[in-house]
Amino acid sequence: MKKFLLFLCVTMGMSCFSHAQQGYQNPVIPGFHPDPSVCRVGEDYYLVNSSFCYFPGVPLFHSKDLIHWEQIGNCLSRPSQVKLTNAGTWGGIYAPTIRHHEGVFYMITTNVSDKGNFLVHATDPRGEWSDPVWIKQGGIDPSLYFEDGKCYLVSNPDVGIYLCEINPMTGEQLTASRRIWNGTGGRHPEGPHIYKKDGWYYLLISEGGTEYGHKVTIARSRDIDGPYESNPANPILTHINKNAQNSPIQGTGHADFVEAADGSWWVVCLAFRPQTGSHHLLGRETFLAPVRWDKDAWPVVNGDGTMAIQMDVPTLPQYPVSPKPVRTTFANGKLGPEWIYLRNPKTENYSCSPQGMLRLKMTPVSLNSMDSPTFVGRRQQHIDFTASTSVELQKTRPQDEAGLTVFMENHSHYDLSVRQDADKKQSVILRYRLGELTHVEKEISIPEGKVQLRVKGNNDTYSFEYATDGTNFRELGKMNARYISTETAGGFTGIILGMYAVSGSASSKGYAEFGYFEYQGE
């Protein structure tokens, strides 16, 4: 018995050791989750991302190991915090920074469609965050650094990195803005963060634009005001060079360091995964890599300044989180924090029926509009995936429709919908909007009643299917993925898979009832 107990203890010990040392897979937060910023509070880690034209704004994640992340909310959850009127996929909420100081969480960001830089704060990140505190210093990508009772702000007005001192509770600027670094000469020096280590102030930025030429550079100074000395080995992270030209990860940049509870250092950054040639559709995603930071030395990211999908490196003890259910139902009348709307939603157009159906009211505002259509969706997070829903039209008029959309932006989306025709008939239609072109690719008459809609994505295409019995799906057509890629459509976002409803008449009383939404990545 003693031998058995000894064997059991040794086995468990080895298991725990292995558990703490295993690698992980990038991206750690897949899909449209760009511009990550991270902070640590004890043994807990919090991370935020940009959200651009989508509401609620700035998704907020929690982790115990920097690898497994759970979305616990959104920092900007009220219209009073974020105005997104006419914001497109180039507008709205840009790169945020999250920091924690003396029991208070601060999230600072830019609304380029409103008044610029602002911050919100909270003592409980899972609760409500404050209304905006607006900041005088301009530019984008603002960040905060706290030391000796002072709060410093860095951002990039006038094509350079500027520093000033602020009151984070009022937004008052306490010192003049002063330029502290121009970067290494790459275009768009942005995403600045300040850290202190071994008596040095380190200034981390991104350069080259958030495309294939993206890179992370760093400088340091003994004085926070500078002058800052550039790292001779810059850039410290990039996939623009020959050693990463064939990597499935590209566009690495916009990074933030964090020191873990065990003293190890890590970096989160954005990058994208090209598909169908050199196009990408999932948007810029959140990646993770270890950092070696010897005393008085410059930081080295993952040995050679690159990262991989499969990271075979020592990690913190890992704490996996429960995966989201494949099927989302609407019985409790509340959507999870991963569900988003285009711009500020008109809440009266969304409700749940007594039968637990998501009810979307039809209005004349279409997906092509810069207004807020009746639309709610979630991010595509896998290149290979299947998404489906069930929809039934109610009290509709001819030309009213509702369905499933693969949405990049208002000029770039594929729609699979059920449309009300004359004489109480309905059709299932597949349509595309590509730039100035709108075209119905396929249209088939179907019986009245519930219709199941499904889209399957792979490296090169989206396949659209429908069923009227919930089982026997028929393919309506395929669409080329590259036509709605970031390289074709533009913008800073990624594909959103959404449910929508639109009316052909302002006087329509129609609505659509969605029974569920399923998403399965492969």
Give 223-258 pLDDT, tens digit per residue.
999 999 999 999 999 999 999 999 999 999 999 999
Give yes or no for residue 2 having a pLDDT over 80: no
In this structure, are residues 452 and 466 in contact, taking their beta carbons and an 8 Å threshold? yes
Q: What is the pLDDT of residue 295?
A: 85
Percent of the chain with pLDDT over 70: 96
Cα–Cα–Cα angle for 286, 291, 294, rounded to 5 degrees: 160
Q: What is the dihedral of CA 48, 49, 50, 51, to 10 degrees?
A: -90
In this structure, are residues 254 and 214 in contact, taking their beta carbons and an 8 Å threshold? yes
β-pairing, 178-181 with 190-197?
unpaired
Give yes or no for residue 305 having a pLDDT over 50: yes
169 Cβ neighbours under 8 A, 6+ residues apart: 121, 133
Give yes or no for residue 269 having a pLDDT over 80: yes
CATH fit for domain 24-311, picks 2.115.10.20, 3.40.50.150, 3.90.1150.10, 3.40.50.620: 2.115.10.20
Give yes or no for residue 12 having a pLDDT over 50: no
Q: How many CA atoms lie within 13 A of 268 on its CB side?
A: 34
Assign 271 a pLDDT band (cuts: 50, 70, 90): very high
Q: How many CA atoms lie within 13 A of 1 on its CB side?
A: 0
Q: What is the pLDDT of residue 333?
A: 83
pTM above 0.85, yes or no: yes
Strand partners, 194: 203
Q: What is the pLDDT of residue 21?
A: 57
Average pLDDT over residues 286-304: 95
Average pLDDT over residues 186-215: 97
DSSP readout, 357-377? -EEEE--S--TTSSS--EEEE
Average pLDDT of the chain, as a whole number: 94
DSSP readout, 426-443? EEEEEEEEETTEEEEEEE
Average pLDDT over residues 380-388: 98
CATH domain 327-521 topology: Jelly Rolls (2.60.120)
Average pLDDT over residues 92-103: 98
Q: What is the largest CA-CA distance in the chain?
A: 82
**Domain residue spans in the chain?**
24-311, 327-521
Average pLDDT over residues 308-334: 94
Give yes or no for residue 5 having a pLDDT over 80: no
Average pLDDT over residues 289-302: 94
Tell me how far apart the alpha carbons of residues 286 and 67 are, in angstroms, rounded to a whole number: 10
Q: Which helix (H) or strand (E) holds 17?
A: helix 2-21
Q: Which of 230, 141, 221 is nearest to 189 (CA)?
A: 141
Q: What is the pLDDT of residue 331?
A: 87
Give 476-509 pLDDT, tens digit per residue.
999 999 999 999 999 999 999 999 999 988 888 9
What tokens does 302 get?
């993952």
Average pLDDT over residues 115-139: 97
Assign 422 a pLDDT band (cuts: 50, 70, 90): confident
Average pLDDT over residues 276-300: 95
Q: What is the DSSP letter of 320?
A: -
Tell me how far apart the alpha carbons of residues 492 and 481 are, in angstroms, rounded to a whole number: 17
Q: What is the pLDDT of residue 33?
A: 98
- CA distance between the termini of the chain: 45
Q: What is the pLDDT of residue 468?
A: 96
Q: What is the pLDDT of residue 296?
A: 84
Average pLDDT over residues 107-126: 98
Which sequence positions are flagged as catalytic?
35, 190
Strand partners, 292: 300
Give yes or no for residue 210 having a pLDDT over 70: yes
Give 336-346 pLDDT, tens digit per residue.
999 999 999 99
252 Cβ neighbours under 8 A, 6+ residues apart: 214, 215, 216, 237, 238, 239, 269, 270, 271, 287, 306, 307
Average pLDDT over residues 180-199: 97
Question: Alpha-carbon Rg of the chain, whole angstroms?
Answer: 24
Q: What is the pLDDT of residue 504?
A: 87
